[in-house]
Amino acid sequence: MLKNLLVASTVLAQGFLAAAAPHTQRTPPSPPYVDPISPSLDPFYTATPDFEKTAPGTVLKIRPAAGNLTDIVGAAAAFNVLYRTTDSQFKPDVAVTTIFVPVTDTQPALVSIQLPYNSANVDDSPSFTLNTDVLSQAEVIDSLKLGWFVNVPDFEGTRASFTAGVMSGHATIDSVRASLNLREKLGLPEGTRVALFGYSGGSLATEWATELAVQYAPELEFAGAAMGGLTANITSVMQTIDNGPFAGLIVSGIVGLSSQFPPVRDFVLSQIKPENLTEFLSVLALPAAVANIQFAFRNISDFFVNGIDAAMADPIVKEAVFSDQIMGFHGVPKPPVLAYHAVNDEVTPIADVEELVARYCEVGGNFLLTRNSAGGHLEEFVNGRQAAFDFLTAVFQGRLPEGFPADGCAVRDVTVDVVAQLAAAAAAA
């Protein structure tokens, strides 16, 4: 259903997307088709010798994107790039990003789209799944139609470290560095502005990138960041979704975080009932959609000998959770930030987002938080989408959209129900 709604909302926005004036026209090449190989089997995802000695953002490998990605509407070229990054323990690591060059660029703009792939399975990485994921392709296509270069990082890295905020933020930042290091090959114009965009699990990487960039990448200046369905506190998210339709995210989140912290992995696994261990670890090989179905409406606490709260209360786990799953303690985002959230979000409570934004606002952040009275977490993906694109368009033009605070912060209550409009239109058709 969400895919259908997004396609419909994209059609409604076509007039806006077509309004941009052309600047540079490119002729798409016709590279030979190469079947995509799942990341777990593809040697391209393997680090190069001595990569540890290179700087974060260094391009280690590059190839034309496998599969049909070069044929995506509006793309003149698409590349997979293996680059050096830094993991959650600040050790050298690698990740892959996919970069799209627009057929027509209307302004010097690079948008880094952090897709919500929400998986502890490396084969769910966007560099691979973009070939078949229509929902994710829509975000890329609409950005290309606006003449933007598009960067789509596998921000969980090659260990699929879902919910590991520091890894996700570093990998996002370094994917941008890698893109800029390829300026000549990609044809990125001088003065290219860079902005970040992500929803739900993609907002996790987006926010952590803005939070960490102050110290990790002071040379980067982001024009803005749009983040919706923000997962400000993963512990709170887990408590909210247990026993519900999104309970599978708890399992994937625990397994994903612990991939960055082996002692945490060992301890957590020791706390799971032996008869539940195989099923719990199945998320390492299951597609995210299948894992979510398998664990939906389950009491995840029952998988543990003494319950999940006891396991998460252990000092070794609490340290990793605080460092990687609770936003707001590593730095203050420098760019203007649009945060959009459904008041009735059933995955990530809006109170956590309000608390995070308030904390940033006290120390110089520039935020607009919109609180939408319509819909929940899934609906806000569609309902908030046009506002996010409007914001990105504005910051790429060197301005703030109407109603955005010139400095400081603002909180605005809105009622935007694109989902209901689309449903009504479909019923009337």
Q: Which of 87, 123, 174, 345 is catalytic?
A: 345
Mean pLDDT by 10 residues, the chain (429 residues): 47 42 60 88 98 98 92 93 98 98 90 98 98 90 96 99 99 99 94 98 99 97 98 97 98 98 97 98 98 98 96 96 96 98 98 98 97 97 97 97 95 95 86
- The first and second tokens of residue 190, run together, are 């001088």
Nearby residues of 306 by Cβ (< 8 Å), 6 or more positions away: 271
CATH architecture for residues 2-233+329-428 = 3-Layer(aba) Sandwich (3.40)
Q: Measured between alpha carbons, how far is 209 from 85 in angstroms, rounded to an integer?
A: 12
Q: Which of 88, 200, 203, 259 is catalytic?
A: 200
> Residue 24: its pLDDT value, please?
67
The domain locations on the chain are 2-233+329-428, 241-324
> Residue 236: its pLDDT value, please?
97
8 Å CB contact between 233 and 350: no
- The first and second tokens of residue 52, run together, are 């540890």
Which neighbouring-strand residues pair with 63? 80
Residue 282 per-residue DSSP state? G
- The first and second tokens of residue 349, run together, are 């409570």
H-run or E-run covering 259? none
Quickly count: other Cβ atoms within 10 Å of residue 423's Cβ. Answer: 15
377 is catalytic: yes
Q: Measured between alpha carbons, how far is 154 from 148 in angstroms, rounded to an integer?
A: 19
200 is catalytic: yes
Give residue 188's Cα distance to chain centre: 22
8 Å CB contact between 370 and 384: yes
Q: Does domain 241-324 have CATH number 1.10.260.130?
A: yes
Q: Side chain identity at 413, as an amino acid letter?
A: D
> Residue 5: its pLDDT value, please?
45
3-class secondary-structure state, position 122:
helix
Q: Where are the beta strands (DSSP E) in 115-184?
A: 149-153
Q: Which of 170, 330, 341, 377 is catalytic?
A: 377
> Residue 28: its pLDDT value, please?
59
35 is catalytic: no
- The first and second tokens of residue 152, run together, are 């789509």
> Residue 195: its pLDDT value, please?
99
> Residue 412: its pLDDT value, please?
97
Nearby residues of 354 by Cβ (< 8 Å), 6 or more positions away: 369, 411
φ, ψ for residue 97, nearest 5 deg: -130, 160
Q: Measured between alpha carbons, how far is 63 from 37 in angstroms, rounded to an integer?
A: 13
